[in-house]
Structure 1
Amino acid sequence: MPAFSPTDPRHAGLYRLEAAASALYDSDDYALSMSQQTRDAWMRLHDAALKIRTNGHPHPLAGVALATLASMDQLDGRNTDALRRSDEALILLAPFADAYPIAWMQGRSVKGYAQMALGDVSGGAETLAQASRTMDGYVASLPPDGIDRDVHMLRSNIAFIHAQALMRLGRNAEAVVAQKACMDARIAAVGPNSADAIGAYYTYAQMLQRADRVEEAEHYARLAVDVATDHVDRKHPNYARALEALGLLLSRTGRRAESLNYLQRAIAIKRETVGTDSLYFHFALQNLGSVLLAMERYADAEPLFMEAERGFRALEGENSPQSARALAWAGAASLAEGHRDDAIDRLSKAISRVQAGSDKDRDIGQRAYPYLIAALIEAKRMDEAHSAAAAYARESAQLDNAPALPLALAAMVLARTNPGGGDISESAHRLVAVVRADAAVNNDGELNEEQRLALDIALGTAAEIQDGELALNAMAIMAASRIAHANRLVAQRLVEDPALAGRVRTLQDFGRVLERADRDVLKALAVDSGIAEARDRHAAAAADVAAEQSAIARDFPRWAEARGVEHPDLPALRRDLGRNEAYLAVMPAFSGVYMLAISDTALRIERAGMSRADLIALVGRLRDTLSPEEFDGQAAYQLHEQILTPGIKSILAKTRSLRIVPTGAFASVPFAMLPQKPVTTARRDTPWLIRRFALTVQPGFLTAPAPTRQTAMRYQRFLGIGAPAFADAASMPATRAGGPFRSGNAATLSALPALPGSSAELQAVAARFGPARATLLTGADASESALRRIDLTSYGVMLFATHGLVSGEMEGLTEPALLLSPGEGDDGLLTASEVATMRIGADWVILSACNTAAGETAQAPAYSGLAQAFRYAGAGALLVSHWPVRDDASAFVTLETVKGADRGLPRAVALQKAMLKLMQSGRPDAAQPYIWAPFILIGR
């Protein structure tokens, strides 16, 4: 039998038909290339080729034609047709695969994609793996300079679809390899600086991020943005998509504030280049809104969701699923903003819209129902809440692979809205346990809005039935989330240790098993079958997680502390309290703010009468009016009344020292200056809260016992650092690669005002210890390099007297820092992440600087910045400030607090007396809260 030749002159008529069809298909006019005219041309080739026999088979151009038609079906979304035609094409091409390798591999690629789209992901992955192996062999058989662009592009497309299939199967490591092959082939086809290469970079970054290879992911995401900026017209879709991909990656890895710039730039470009009448634009709005929602910036997120909702509805019709999703998120934002009726209206419409469009799309209902139920409960519309809870529970149980959280939340709200429908306390405790397990698996430790809502519902239940253990567990998760997010950079650095990295992956694997076990228990309870077996599996999984957590905490205690892993024990907390001492936790959840007071004998959990949004607005009012000339006494008193309710006060009746555990905006509240009676003007005798309590702030529910005897200050060694030598801009060292700030900041640093009181403050405090026990680093010696040369574990007390900077205070400053003197390659900034790598033995660190209590922003929690970094490095307790401090006031409070501690007073009492003494001192404006109130004690 003669060998087959694809150029056999006897088949010239077929070749003319192929050329005509190819010319139409390869047209620059996309509408023409996908038109019926083009389809007809390929069908003419198919029909003609079927009539010609070669080597006992129909001519393979019949298969080539079907493979192309299958590709067109795939592009049109007609996947059933694409699968049928690709199967037929592969049968026709099989005897001639060597002669038509490109068509053969194209057919397999389309088949694999269609299998995935129609639900057979495993089958699609295998088909695409075969196509990839065939392509690799084909490319290897060609000389390097004999591979044309189309071959590289097909190889890239096959690898891309294969990577997507592997990712959907959870085989992320293999997916990364496939996506890397896709990127390499794309670059070979179009070059490293093309628009298509940009898409390959950011898609590879997304796959790396899913595989927990975050640093590599960020490298390629930034590469995509850099190439787009330098080489691609901003009108090309991949320009905006590169910005958006980097923004979403930063958001998903805990850097949401940094992500906003990229997402906002992407929207601006899309608005300019493609206009607002495109799904492409409205998805961008929804992405930005989702990040703002996670950041609790609900007022900013709501209009974005509503604009997206209108756009989706205009483009897709009244029952558009995407419009329903945007409306549901807008409803969630409305609820968080305290607009309960708007929330109920929007969430109800979102659910109705989806149900009208399709009874199979339950995803949006799963998102909308929890917020709707919470809003109905707040509105006391319990019958409607119960009906919605029943629908939510029913839909959750019907999902094939429902996550544990929706199942637990559905069971909880069903029990809460039907007093006879189940054990409310048991279901609430189970819900909190599921949120804890979810948070343990999440690398950045940040709670999402669904988890915050679940904890809000659990805390509301705890307040109704006065379940203190439930409230404590829920609040501990919220506090731990803030700690984990604050220490994200430190935790990531620690996990670079291969030994720890392996242990963390094991813990995450155990966590996923526990999540599945939670889901199995909840589904068993829902159907009342297999409950005992499911609970046994759950107990075994929970034991594995607990054992691994304990083992990691034992072997890697610094990582455990950085991640904020804590499961508080109420009896242990009470044993840790001193005489006449109590806890007061103040935490915003989703729509409410909750207070938990714990004394040695009693406990009370309450929800504030005002909404979360209104209370946070009060905090903002108070902070905005703090100056020597201005003070909003009404806002301060309202906060006092909302937080210290009669029920909370009853628990604190005998309390003299109060440990406050605040989160969110309440960590920026100077509790010392909340007045116990209405005030209009600050006076020396105003009944501030600091007159009632000695106050300590704690990042979480710590149970480390206090020492039985506080060592007198005079017997400890003292290290003072400050009064740095400010360099001019020209003499500042070059910025380190990857450092905390970018070029242009040298002038900003050198322009900061001098602190004339700092040197005197350091000298005065050092005198309390005596020359033999005091070391001072001032002027040019107050540098990072000087600190590194000292054994910091030998000092019991450390004092920093300098400027403190918050994240964003200057261009590119991404974390809080202390200003020191530049030298030996130092940049003059001691950042929080650098502090966290130190080994400090000080029982007490005093940060007598501006904004040292601040976190990533001026409103961020006290423990998310320098204060937490020093605690993490080993400091026992810290004295820090909430806002820029007048240096004479700082010196006064620092010295008086040290004197009091030196006399044996507890530090909180020493600070209390120092603040009261400053008020009475007769110094200018000393009675004003702006002068004395910023100082807080963190730790004991």
Structure 2
Amino acid sequence: MEFDSAGHPAPVDLSILHGLYRSLFEPVLPHLAGVDHVMVIAAGALQSLPLGMLVASPPPQITSDADYRQVDWLASHYAFSVLPSVSSIQALRQFARKPGEQKPFAGIGDPLIGNAREGAEGSSDKIARGKRTRVDVAAVFRNLVLSTKINPNAAVIVPAGENVEIADVEAIRGAPRLAETADELRAMAKALKSDANSLWLQQSATESTIKRLDLARYRTLAFATHGVMAGEIKGIGEPGLILTPPQQGSPEDDGYLSSSEIARLKLNADWVVLSACNTAAADGTPGAEGLSGLAKAFFYAGARSLLVSHWPVASEATVLLTTVMMKEYEANPGNGKAEAQRKAMLALIATPDHPEYAHPMFWAPFVVVGEGGTENWRP
């Protein structure tokens, strides 16, 4: 997804998406009678294409953002979840939730980074008023290179002894704050009937906190912050999540939770929500397999399903999508995670005060990876 010269998400070529629907999806329609949830095992470039944004009917002419509401998106017909491989279906269902009492939710986000005033104001009001510039729109997205707050040519990893790397905490601190993620996590906690004690925000959103917590006690985990791909910023050796940095970095806590550190966590989560950008992407190395970055690390740690994104996400739209999704999942858990996500996408498209949200840049980046059906799994 790209911006045009005015700073608006570039128009989508709907004819290509309709052509892909006819070549990829239409041939299997006879096998989908009575099916409403499709599990996808994709390869190559298809790993980066959310199938819900394929177009099932000849598309209308688009003259404004609101016209995207008239498109027959495939998400209107099916819920989708992605599986890394055929064997992963059995593996995920074998490793069902371990017995023991669990709490419903834990949320980590709104790290203390950047300028707090700028993060609190955000840019969504400017967009709503139509005063858009490329900088305004880019600032709304949870993406470090788009926001230009961190110099992509600056090294942000410094050596700390043999086989140990520590992120430059000043560079981490320079990332733009996402103050609205605190409200997002509070809304998710409320939807899942949790309370403020299940949230670790701002000064508590640290690596040390995460590594100290018994995360296996929580059925649903949510991280709302910046996601970073390997190679996205010079010097970052692996993908990860930005957290509140300490005054001085150490191997235990440098403000950057890398994929290798994530893989060493002990989880017992039905669902991990990564409300950040590019969290479905590969690890950033040439030729890397899809879903091999953060997603793979969380599965290794013990997650059974993830909500991840294929491109930089619009922060205000993401708040709405994730909160609606959690409310839907809590109200109708038997419908499964993929259906809750589908309902949230359709709600975002139809948002009355934000016609721009009908553009797939806003509603289509997230996908459910892993077991997206009901929580009562059967091998």
Q: Match of 2:50? A: 670
TM-score norm. by structure 2 comes to: 0.74
- The Cα offsets for residues 690-729 of structure 1, whole Å up to 9 and x where unpaired, read as 111111011111224759x99xxxx843111010012799
Q: Match of 1:337? A: none
Looking at structure 1, the residues matched to 3 and 175 of structure 2 have their Cα atoms a distance apart, in angstroms, of: 24
SS across alignment from 1:678: coil
Looking at structure 1, the residues matched to 337 and 173 of structure 2 have their Cα atoms a distance apart, in angstroms, of: 35
Q: State the 1:773 CA deviation.
A: 8.1
User: 1:844 touches 1:876 (CA, 8 Å); kept in 2?
Assistant: yes
User: 1:880 touches 1:936 (CA, 8 Å); kept in 2?
Assistant: yes
Match of 1:718 among 105, 108, 125: 105
Looking at structure 1, the residues matched to 244 and 184 of structure 2 have their Cα atoms a distance apart, in angstroms, of: 18
Q: Match of 2:368? A: 937
Aligned ranges 1:379-418 → 2 under 5 Å: none
Instruction: Find out whether 1:697 has 2:78 as its counterpart.
Output: no
Match of 2:313 among 856, 877, 885: 885
Q: Cα 1:890–1:686, aligned 2, differ >3 Å: closer, same or farther?
A: same
Q: Match of 1:765? A: 188
Instruction: Find out whether 1:867 has 2:298 as its counterpart.
Output: no
Partner amino acid for 2:255? G
User: 1:719 touches 1:776 (CA, 8 Å); kept in 2?
Assistant: yes
SS across alignment from 1:840: coil
User: 2:3 touches 2:9 (CA, 8 Å); kept in 1?
Assistant: no
User: 1:814 touches 1:856 (CA, 8 Å); kept in 2?
Assistant: no
Q: State the 1:672 CA deviation.
A: 1.0
TM-score norm. by structure 1 comes to: 0.31
Aligned ranges 1:80-229 → 2 under 5 Å: none
Looking at structure 2, the residues matched to 740 and 642 of structure 1 have their Cα atoms a distance apart, in angstroms, of: 46
Looking at structure 1, the residues matched to 159 and 112 of structure 2 have their Cα atoms a distance apart, in angstroms, of: 18
Aligned ranges 1:262-411 → 2 under 5 Å: none
Aligned ranges 1:472-483 → 2 under 5 Å: none
Instruction: Find out whether 1:635 has 2:16 as its counterpart.
Output: yes
User: 1:667 touches 1:860 (CA, 8 Å); kept in 2?
Assistant: no
Q: State the 1:771 CA deviation.
A: 5.2
Q: Cα 1:689–1:747, aligned 2, differ >3 Å: closer, same or farther?
A: same
Q: State the 1:768 CA deviation.
A: 2.7
Partner amino acid for 1:845? V
Looking at structure 2, the residues matched to 659 and 625 of structure 1 have their Cα atoms a distance apart, in angstroms, of: 31
Instruction: Find out whether 1:855 has 2:282 as its counterpart.
Output: yes
Aligned ranges 1:360-759 → 2 under 5 Å: 623=1, 628-646=9-27, 648-679=28-59, 680-681=61-62, 683-701=68-86, 702-704=89-91, 716-726=103-113, 735-737=159-161, 738-739=163-164, 746=169, 748-759=171-182
- The Cα offsets for residues 663-706 of structure 1, whole Å up to 9 and x where unpaired, read as 22211112110101232435213111111111101111122475
Q: Cα 1:816–1:733, aligned 2, differ >3 Å: closer, same or farther?
A: closer
Instruction: Find out whether 1:894 has 2:322 as its counterpart.
Output: yes
User: 1:741 touches 1:812 (CA, 8 Å); kept in 2?
Assistant: no
Partner amino acid for 1:900? E
Q: Which has the larger radius of gyration?
A: 1
Runs of at least 5 residues in structure 1 that lack an aligned partner in the other structure:
1-622
User: 2:166 touches 2:254 (CA, 8 Å); kept in 1?
Assistant: no
Match of 2:357 among 894, 913, 926: 926
Partner amino acid for 2:85? G
Q: Match of 1:806? A: 229
Match of 1:816 among 206, 230, 239: 239
Q: Cα 1:748–1:733, aligned 2, differ >3 Å: closer, same or farther?
A: closer
SS across alignment from 2:84: coil
SS across alignment from 2:68: coil
Looking at structure 1, the residues matched to 165 and 233 of structure 2 have their Cα atoms a distance apart, in angstroms, of: 10
Partner amino acid for 2:345? M
User: 2:105 touches 2:194 (CA, 8 Å); kept in 1?
Assistant: no
Looking at structure 1, the residues matched to 34 and 273 of structure 2 have their Cα atoms a distance apart, in angstroms, of: 30
Q: State the 1:827 CA deviation.
A: 1.7
Q: Match of 1:544? A: none
User: 1:854 touches 1:861 (CA, 8 Å); kept in 2?
Assistant: no
Higher helix share: 1
Partner amino acid for 2:270? D
Instruction: Find out whether 1:797 has 2:184 as its counterpart.
Output: no
User: 1:800 touches 1:846 (CA, 8 Å); kept in 2?
Assistant: yes
Higher strand share: 2
Q: Cα 1:861–1:656, aligned 2, differ >3 Å: closer, same or farther?
A: farther
Q: Match of 1:344? A: none
Instruction: Find out whether 1:778 has 2:165 as its counterpart.
Output: no
User: 1:853 touches 1:882 (CA, 8 Å); kept in 2?
Assistant: yes
- The Cα offsets for residues 628-655 of structure 1, whole Å up to 9 and x where unpaired, read as 2421212222222221243x22222332
User: 2:55 touches 2:71 (CA, 8 Å); kept in 1?
Assistant: yes
Q: Match of 1:316? A: none
User: 2:157 touches 2:236 (CA, 8 Å); kept in 1?
Assistant: no
SS across alignment from 1:846: strand
Looking at structure 2, the residues matched to 641 and 864 of structure 1 have their Cα atoms a distance apart, in angstroms, of: 29
SS across alignment from 2:69: coil
Q: State the 1:834 CA deviation.
A: 1.0
Q: State the 1:876 CA deviation.
A: 1.3
Q: Cα 1:860–1:921, aligned 2, differ >3 Å: closer, same or farther?
A: farther
Looking at structure 2, the residues matched to 926 and 629 of structure 1 have their Cα atoms a distance apart, in angstroms, of: 13
Looking at structure 1, the residues matched to 36 and 370 of structure 2 have their Cα atoms a distance apart, in angstroms, of: 17
- The Cα offsets for residues 383-410 of structure 1, whole Å up to 9 and x where unpaired, read as xxxxxxxxxxxxxxxxxxxxxxxxxxxx
SS across alignment from 2:204: coil
Q: Match of 2:142? A: none
Looking at structure 1, the residues matched to 186 and 255 of structure 2 have their Cα atoms a distance apart, in angstroms, of: 22
Instruction: Find out whether 1:830 has 2:257 as its counterpart.
Output: yes
Looking at structure 2, the residues matched to 717 and 748 of structure 1 have their Cα atoms a distance apart, in angstroms, of: 34
User: 1:735 touches 1:827 (CA, 8 Å); kept in 2?
Assistant: no
Partner amino acid for 1:631? V
Partner amino acid for 1:703? Q
Looking at structure 1, the residues matched to 48 and 289 of structure 2 have their Cα atoms a distance apart, in angstroms, of: 6
Q: Cα 1:785–1:735, aligned 2, differ >3 Å: closer, same or farther?
A: farther
User: 1:660 touches 1:695 (CA, 8 Å); kept in 2?
Assistant: yes
Looking at structure 2, the residues matched to 765 and 930 of structure 1 have their Cα atoms a distance apart, in angstroms, of: 22
Runs of at least 5 residues in structure 2 that lack an aligned partner in the other structure:
116-149, 151-155, 372-379
Instruction: Find out whether 1:842 has 2:269 as its counterpart.
Output: yes
User: 2:169 touches 2:245 (CA, 8 Å); kept in 1?
Assistant: no
Q: Match of 1:230? A: none
